């Protein structure tokens, strides 16, 4: 039974930075794809970034490329999202999710992920 916990959300002004953290446990160790998703009020959940720790298997949605960076600490089963140059459009609840497989093109795709956290709120004011 996977257990995923996010932290690090908050409120910042446009142009600012935040770093989200995700801690995961309780599932088969080894290769796993970990991803960040976000959902703004009235909008569908959107994949932001994903990676499995393998070189070349890191994926970002176009709107965050060059601003957000995903990183992992495999020893801790931890995932991070460094968010720079934040925009009001980045305001959303951010979720971390995990599945036991490699990431592959098309990730992060919500339907592929099994274990989900409760989310952490990010609010960017103009």
> What DSSP string runs through 72-91?
EEGGGTEEEEEE-S--GGG-
Query: Has residue 118 got a pLDDT over 80?
Result: yes
The residues, ordered by sequence, that sit 6+ positions from 106 with a Cβ below 8 Å of its Cβ are 59
Q: How confident is the model at residue 17 (pLDDT cuts 50, 70, 90)?
A: very high
Region of poorest pLDDT, from 16-30, 59-73, 84-98: 16-30
User: pLDDT tens across 43-78, in order?
Assistant: 999 999 999 988 888 999 999 999 999 999 988 889
- The closest alpha carbon to 81, from 15, 4, 17, belongs to 17
- The closest alpha carbon to 7, from 103, 78, 102, 108, belongs to 78
Instruction: State the Cα–Cα distance between residues 44 and 39, nearest whole angstrom.
Output: 6
- The closest alpha carbon to 64, from 44, 50, 77, 53, belongs to 50
Strands 18-25 and 33-39: unpaired
- The closest alpha carbon to 71, from 87, 60, 61, belongs to 60
Q: Which residue has the tokens 């971390």?
A: 96
The count of other CB atoms within 10 Å of the CB of residue 8 is: 16
Q: How confident is the model at residue 28 (pLDDT cuts 50, 70, 90)?
A: low
Q: Give the model's pLDDT for residue 26.
A: 82
């Amino acid at each position: 039974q996977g257990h995923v916990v996010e932290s690090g959300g908050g409120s910042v002004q446009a142009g600012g930075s935040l770093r989200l953290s995700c801690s995961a446990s309780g599932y088969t160790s080894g290769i796993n794809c970990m991803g960040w998703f976000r959902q703004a009020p009235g909008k569908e959940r959107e994949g932001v970034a994903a990676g499995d720790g393998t070189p070349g298997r890191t994926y970002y949605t176009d709107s965050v490329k060059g601003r957000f960076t995903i990183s992992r600490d495999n020893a801790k089963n931890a995932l991070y999202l460094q968010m720079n140059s934040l925009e009001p459009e980045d305001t959303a609840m951010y979720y971390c999710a995990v599945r036991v497989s490699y990431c592959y093109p098309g990730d992060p795709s919500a339907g592929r992920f099994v274990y989900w956290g409760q989310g952490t709120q990010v609010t960017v004011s103009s």
